[in-house]
Amino acid sequence: MHILKTVLYPIQAVANLYDLYYALARNKMYASQGRASTNVMSDKVKEYFIKDSILSHYYNKELQDGKWNHMMDQPHISYTYWRGPEVDSLPKTIRLDLKKEAAMGVAIEGSASWWPHETKRLSYPN
């Protein structure tokens, strides 16, 4: 059973890291479109960041009574250049001050354009 948990950690950790960066990308795109869900994605980034530390803590301290302590300690979140950061840090997200009144907007999934902001005609990708 311990071997399964030892192998499971890298899978869970990389899946969580992917979710974190995907939520971060959506946060930035949604902010550019003025979407209310910008703040939801900001919260998701923080949620995944916390989950990463929980996963790492379990692997380092609890799994097999700490047998693998420090094996997965290398910082891996918030790289900004080739040399890794000294510690993991919560990526910077965008939060919007939402208006009390909602306004309708349309965006096509995968496109940064949104209407009525966009001046060209709305069309679906081929």
Nearest to 106 by CA among 82, 90, 123, 91: 123
Whether omega for the bond prior to residue 85 falls within 30 degrees of 0, making it cis, is no
The structure tokens listed for 89 are 């840090």
Examine the pLDDT at 3 and tell me if it is beyond 70: no
3-state secondary structure of 114: strand
Q: Is the pTM of this model over 0.75?
A: yes
Which residues lie below 8 Å from residue 102, measured CB to CB, with a gap of 6+? 36
59 or 44: which leads in pLDDT: 44
For residue 48, give the H/E element and its range. helix 38-57
Cα–Cα distance, 15 to 9 (Å, whole number): 10
| Residue 1: per-residue pLDDT | 56
Residues 45-93: tens digit of each pLDDT? 999 999 999 998 888 887 777 777 777 777 888 887 788 788 899 999 9
Contact call for residues 49 and 112 (beta carbons, < 8 A): no
Examine the pLDDT at 16 and tell me if it is beyond 90: yes
Phi, psi of 77 (to 5 degrees): -115, 135
- Give me the CATH code for the 2-96 domain, please: 1.20.58.2150
For residue 106, give the H/E element and its range. strand 106-107
